[in-house]
Chain A
Amino acid sequence: MANRTVIPFGPQHPVLPEPIHLDLVIEDEHVVEAIPSFGFIHRGLEKLAEKRDFTEFTFVAERICGICSYIHGMGYCQAIESVMGLEIPERAKWLRTMWAELSRMHSHMMWLGLLGDAFGFENLFMAFWRVREGLLDIIEETSGGRVIFGAAKVGGIRRDVPDDLLARIPAQLAKIEAEMRPITDVFRDDFSVRQRLCGVGVLSQKDAYDLGAVGPVLRGSGVAVDTRLEGYAAYDRVQVEPIVESDGDCWARAMVRIREVYQSFEILKQVLPNVPAGPVDMKVTGAPNGEFFARLEQPRGEVIYYVKGSGKKQLDRFRVRTPTFANIPPLLKMLQGCQLADVPVIVLTIDPCISCAER
């Protein structure tokens, strides 16, 4: 019987971009149990919603996360619009869909690079981030910001995108897609990548469902759930199919994300030629009175927005459940029985965004 040792992992650790603390109970080199602790970067955003004007809070909502910022802003606006019964203009819906997909692609490509970095494949990391830069240029040219789009607004979008610019984007995307193929092939076929990812951190289909995993973690374990099928924004008019892998290991989660990037290219091919002409925003009068749950698909998984207002300019209650928060229990399950050296890679495969989770 080996001795049990507790190894503290985090909150500051070279591979962790953000502070989460895990107490790893180790037996030999194997993790028996992982005990998380949180609260290093709690920001009190939910309380702030009670002090701000509901339209101004959009800026705060967009800044919940630095990577999936756009969908946070969009989700908040969608929840408020549903409470107030606003039907936003068609052009705004299609442009929101475009930005949501661009946001998903740049988030996934950043993550793929980080995963390469986590198992020591520096060259792959640089390659992904170089290609991602092309996407950030498109985002900056259309919205004005590289990662904080600043384009969400209750009642539509804050800035229109000129039609000639929309017509130029498909050519830029085709170039990015061509640059991406060789490096995603490396992820799929390379021996050392598969050595580090295949069969590591396996989460069974039942566990993924029971523990409430969301997004690529859930789909990587073979459960076909994608909130985009709910048909918010213009997703009811584009073809979206959940990307599912059945292995449930780190490699399956990486494959889900790679295939989702290619899926986003396909979605954008449907969206860009179909953006209708017309206004992009509408006049919003009054204040939200009622409550609503909005569900959206973030790059990291399903995000839930709850807003409750009582006819005042300030909301009564605001709640956001981010995908990382939902993916922590599955992570603890994945860590059971793994090698100590695999812990950083497994933690990274849920695409942790701790500041989102703590809000």
Chain B
Amino acid sequence: MTKHPLKMTKVALENLFQKPATVPYPAVRKPVYAATRGRIAIEEAKCILCLICDKKCPTGAIKVDRPGKTWAIDRLLCIQCGYCVEVCPKKCLGMENLYSPPVSAKAMDVVNVPFTPPPPKPKPPPASATPAATPAPEAGKE
């Protein structure tokens, strides 16, 4: 069955004389796609420390500290599923299309959130409880 014994030779010679298929990485970078799930980013000004992302994260990578007013993420634990982006009520979380840079030590990426909770409302009117933030049901788009 060796009808064309030199088939691989042809492929190999073509490979030898064509440009490399890979890009010389640090010098040239491949363009990233808009859809690429790279890393989670936060617009801290919009965050209301609602803790929903902390509770919903499948790997527990996000830790929100309400009294300390910080939002923190463990980049090595994050699996880039984007679930936090979907459930964020204020849409302050987003998925960037660049990967997080390599690190030499495990550490949490901590962001200080400037949010100040509104002062508690005066008690008297019994019916008007502060409505809880509701997660948006539709898929989050960037």
Interface residues of chain A, those whose CB is within 8 Å of chain B, are 52, 56, 59-60, 63, 123-124, 126-127, 130, 133, 140-145, 148, 150, 153, 158-160, 182-183, 185-186, 189-191, 194, 280-281, 283
Known A-B contacts A158-B139, A159-B35; the reply to A183 vs B11 at CB < 8 A is yes
Q: How distant is A48 from chain B, measured CB to nearest CB, in Å?
A: 10
Q: Which B residues from 1 to 60 make CB contacts under 8 A with A?
A: 1-5, 7-8, 10-12, 15, 21, 33, 35-37, 56, 58
**Which of B62-70, B78-86, B109-117, B123-131 lies at the interface with chain A?**
B78-86
Residues of B within 8 A of A280 (CB): 139
What's the dominant secondary structure at chain B's contact region?
Answer: loop
Q: Are A123 and B35 neighbours in the complex by a CB distance under 8 Å?
A: no
Which of the residues A59, A182, A191, A283 comes within 8 Å of B81, measured between beta carbons? Answer: A59
**C-alpha gap A143/B139 in the complex (Å):** 13
Candidate in B1, B81, B86, B141 with the most chain A CB atoms within 10 angstroms: B81
Q: Which partner residue on chain A sits nearest B2 by CB separation?
A: A191
Q: How distant is A353 from chain B, measured CB to nearest CB, in Å?
A: 19
**C-alpha gap A185/B86 in the complex (Å):** 46
Q: Which B residues from 100 to 142 make CB contacts under 8 A with A?
A: 137-139, 141
Residues of A within 8 A of B12 (CB): 123
Interface residues of chain B, those whose CB is within 8 Å of chain A, are 1-5, 7-8, 10-12, 15, 21, 33, 35-37, 56, 58, 79-83, 86, 95, 137-139, 141
Candidate in A59, A140, A144, A185 with the most chain B CB atoms within 10 angstroms: A144
Q: Are B35 and A142 neighbours in the complex by a CB distance under 8 Å?
A: yes
Which of the residues A60, A123, A141, A281 comes within 8 Å of B138, measured between beta carbons? Answer: A281
Q: Which partner residue on chain B sits nearest A279 by CB separation?
A: B138
Q: Are A182 and B10 neighbours in the complex by a CB distance under 8 Å?
A: yes
Task: List 5 contacting pairs A-B, 8 Å CB cutoff, sorted by A.
Answer: A56-B83, A133-B21, A160-B141, A185-B4, A186-B7
Q: Which partner residue on chain B sits nearest A133 by CB separation?
A: B21
**C-alpha gap A130/B20 in the complex (Å):** 10
What's the dominant secondary structure at chain A's contact region?
Answer: helix
Known A-B contacts A63-B79, A150-B81, A283-B137; the reply to A190 vs B7 at CB < 8 A is yes
Residues of B within 8 A of A52 (CB): 58
Q: How distant is B46 from chain A, measured CB to nearest CB, in Å?
A: 22
Residues of A within 8 A of B5 (CB): 190-191
**C-alpha gap A186/B14 in the complex (Å):** 14
Residues of A within 8 A of B141 (CB): 159-160
Known A-B contacts A159-B141, A194-B1; the reply to A140 vs B33 at CB < 8 A is yes
Residues of B within 8 A of A126 (CB): 15
**C-alpha gap A146/B7 in the complex (Å):** 31
Q: Are B11 and A123 neighbours in the complex by a CB distance under 8 Å?
A: yes
Q: Are A189 and B3 neighbours in the complex by a CB distance under 8 Å?
A: yes
Which of the residues A56, A141, A158 comes within 8 Å of B56, measured between beta carbons? Answer: A56
Q: Are A190 and B80 neighbours in the complex by a CB distance under 8 Å?
A: no
Q: Are B7 and A281 neighbours in the complex by a CB distance under 8 Å?
A: no
Residues of A within 8 A of B35 (CB): 140-144, 159
Known A-B contacts A127-B11, A133-B21, A141-B35; the reply to A56 vs B58 at CB < 8 A is yes
